[in-house]
Amino acid sequence: MAKKQVKSKERVRDHGEVFTNEREVNAMLDLVKNETENIESTFLEPACGDGNFLSEILKRKLNIVSSRYKNHLDDYEMYSIIAVTSLYGVDILQDNVEACIERLFNIWNEEYTKILKSSSSDKAREACRYILTKNILCGDALTMLKNDGKPIVFAEWKFVNGTMLKRRDYELSRILAAEQIVATEEINLFNFDEEVEKQTRESLDVPIKEYPLTDYREVQKYE
Ligand SMILES: C[S@@+](CC[C@H](N)C(=O)[O-])C[C@H]1O[C@@H](n2cnc3c(N)ncnc32)[C@H](O)[C@@H]1O
């Protein structure tokens, strides 16, 4: 049965909540098909609801992970986690955020358990869930503030030396400001001061927190 696009009149009135159906989601994702099939390409859905876009992207990425690594179980586990680290979402409603995290976790866990069977581990499950709770956040995508008034902060996850993971946290407003500079440079090729642009970009590219390098199955031990 097709999923309902509207939960209540009040939610439509107060938050413009009308969910996109699967056919439209996939048609839109097909416009950037290569990126959706690149395990590491990052996506941010700024009004993610319960994750209609993110869940389809995760399924596409996991299909690629499976086609490449289903006979190499350690690699399957690590690359499927890399796919999870690449997805970000914000929604203003806490219940949507929780539903989105649960949905993405279940998609990942179902595939992971099917492929790894008795080699699957609860540590990897915990790591996956933890990463999702850092990547799918409750807040206002327009003000880029959380509901408590503090800035929305996203974690960047970088794999180093195989299975080691480095986490750096950045404010969303600064990530987007840096992206804006790159976009402006591309449009304005002949009309910008390269040195000033470079310095501005570098000043924005400063994490607010760095975490120790750790095995990816143990990221949850740092807060
Ligand atoms: C039209 S629905 C789209 C949901 C999902 N992206 C989809 O396509 O199915 C809009 C979503 O944006 C959320 N929303 C409304 N205002 C927002 C804001 N300022 N910041 C973040 N999310 C917001 C709503 O709670 C709702 O889930």
Q: Is there an atom of ligand 1 within 6 Å of 4 CB?
A: no
CA of 50 to the centre of ligand 1 (A): 9
145: which strand partners?
A: 140, 151
Q: Is there an atom of ligand 1 within 6 Å of 20 CB?
A: yes
pLDDT in tens, the chain (223 residues): 678 899 999 999 999 999 999 999 999 999 999 999 999 999 999 999 999 999 999 999 999 999 999 999 999 999 999 999 999 999 999 999 999 999 999 999 999 999 999 999 999 999 999 999 999 999 999 999 999 999 999 999 999 989 999 999 999 999 888 888 777 766 666 666 777 777 776 777 789 999 999 999 999 998 7
Specify the ligand 1 atom closest to the Cα of 91.
22
Q: Is there an atom of ligand 1 within 6 Å of 137 CB?
A: no
Q: Is there an atom of ligand 1 within 6 Å of 165 CB?
A: no
* pTM (2 d.p.): 0.93
In whole angstroms, what is the distance from residue 207 CA to residue 117 CA? 38
Residue 44 CB-half CA count within 13 A: 17
In whole angstroms, what is the distance from residue 39 CA to residue 70 CA? 15
Q: Which residues of 64-77 are buried (b: 16+ CB within 10 A; e: fewer)?
A: ebbeebeeeeeebb
pLDDT of residue 2: 75
Q: Are 136 and 154 in contact (CB under 8 A)?
A: no
Q: Where are the alpha helices (DSSP H) in the chain?
A: 9-15, 22-30, 33-36, 52-69, 73-85, 94-116, 122-135, 172-187, 194-204
Q: Is there an atom of ligand 1 within 6 Å of 56 CB?
A: no
In whole angstroms, what is the distance from residue 70 CA to residue 142 CA? 40
Tell me the CA distances in angstroms from 107 to 12, 31, 104, 191, one per residue in order: 27, 23, 5, 47
> Within 10 A of 23 (CB to CB), how many other CB atoms are there?
9
